[in-house]
Amino acid sequence: MSALLLKDWYQLSRQSKLTIIMAAVMIFIGVASSSVFYAAIGALLCVMLPMTSLAYDQMHHWDRYVMGLPVTRKDVVLSKYVLAILGILASTVVLMVFGLIMQIRGSIAFDTILSALWTQLAVGLFFLSVNYPIVIKIGFERGRIWYIIITMPIMAFAGLLGNTIVPDRAALAVSSGSFFVLPILMFLVLLSYRLSVRFMERKEY
């Protein structure tokens, strides 16, 4: 699996410089303006990176080529999930660093940072869980419409949370709910992975 991750790393470092910069800027704006909406966009961009790698694989026929190599289909799926989780963790680290800087400067409440952290984690894991099986099952091209249908409500929800609820209360709600939300999301990721493996093992090229 390390070979597949290395390949994705090389690919993303060439393909997605702009997306990485955009994600960092969004997270920065999110923290600076105490808006979970921007943090969620930053998180989504991070999760979208491996998704674009999946799309690129399909577009340039690596997905067929890898089937001839001595790797299992399970490994192919696992590498994509690991990459996505690494993307989410990377965005979490960036968000934490920005948040800490802001807190040291006294321009942001700790609860707001916590809220942004949980939001981006939750959005990232949910997006991963729902979209990956679809893209693996029907391909990125055909899955694009589902991608939009699923992504838009998430963004709208994040926007609603960030703009209509008083930030401190939102932070409190999200952070206190996280003890329940996180295990649910982890279960969802696991379920999604199992489903993706099943789809991949039945897929014909």
Partner 1 sequence: MDAIRCTDLKKSYGGFSLHLESFVVPEGSIVGLIGENGAGKSTTIRLLMGLASADGGSIELFGKQVPHANVQQKEDIGFVMEDAWPPALLDPVKTGKVMARIYSNWDSATYDALLESLAIPKAKPFKDFSHGMKMKLVLAIALSHRAKLLILDEPTSSLDPVTRDEILSILMDFTREENHTILFSSHILSDIEKVCDYVTYLHQGKILISGEKDELEDRYAIASCTPGQSSALDSERILGRKDSPYEVKVLMRREDVPAFMHILRFDLETMMILFAQGGNGR
Burial class (CB in 10 A: 0-12, 13-18, 19+), 85: middle
CA proximity to 140, closest of 63, 42, 41, 43: 63
Q: Segment 107-146, which members bind partner 1 (CB under 8 A)?
A: none
Sign of CA dihedral 163, 166, 167, 171: negative
Q: Is 68 in the site for partner 1 (CB under 8 A)?
A: yes
Interacting residue with partner 1 among 17, 33, 72, 145 (CB under 8 A): 72
* Minimum distance from residue 4 beta carbon to partner 1 (Å): 8
φ, ψ of residue 167 to 5 degrees: the values are: -50, -45
Stretch that binds partner 1, among 18-26, 69-77, 150-158, 166-174 (CB under 8 A): 69-77
Examine residue 70 and tell whether it contacts partner 1 (CB under 8 A): yes
Helix (H/G/I), strand (E/B), else coil: 10? helix
Q: How far is CA 114 from CA 67, 122, 157, in A?
A: 42, 12, 18
Q: Which one among 17, 21, 33, 64 touches partner 1, defined by CB under 8 A?
A: 64
Please report whether residue 193 would count as binding partner 1 according to CB under 8 A: no
Phi, psi of 22 (to 5 degrees): -60, -40
By CB under 8 A, is residue 65 in contact with partner 1?
Answer: yes
Least distance CB 52 / partner 1 (angstroms): 11
Binding site for partner 1 (CB under 8 A): 2-3, 6-7, 10-11, 14-15, 56-57, 59-62, 64-65, 67-72, 204-205
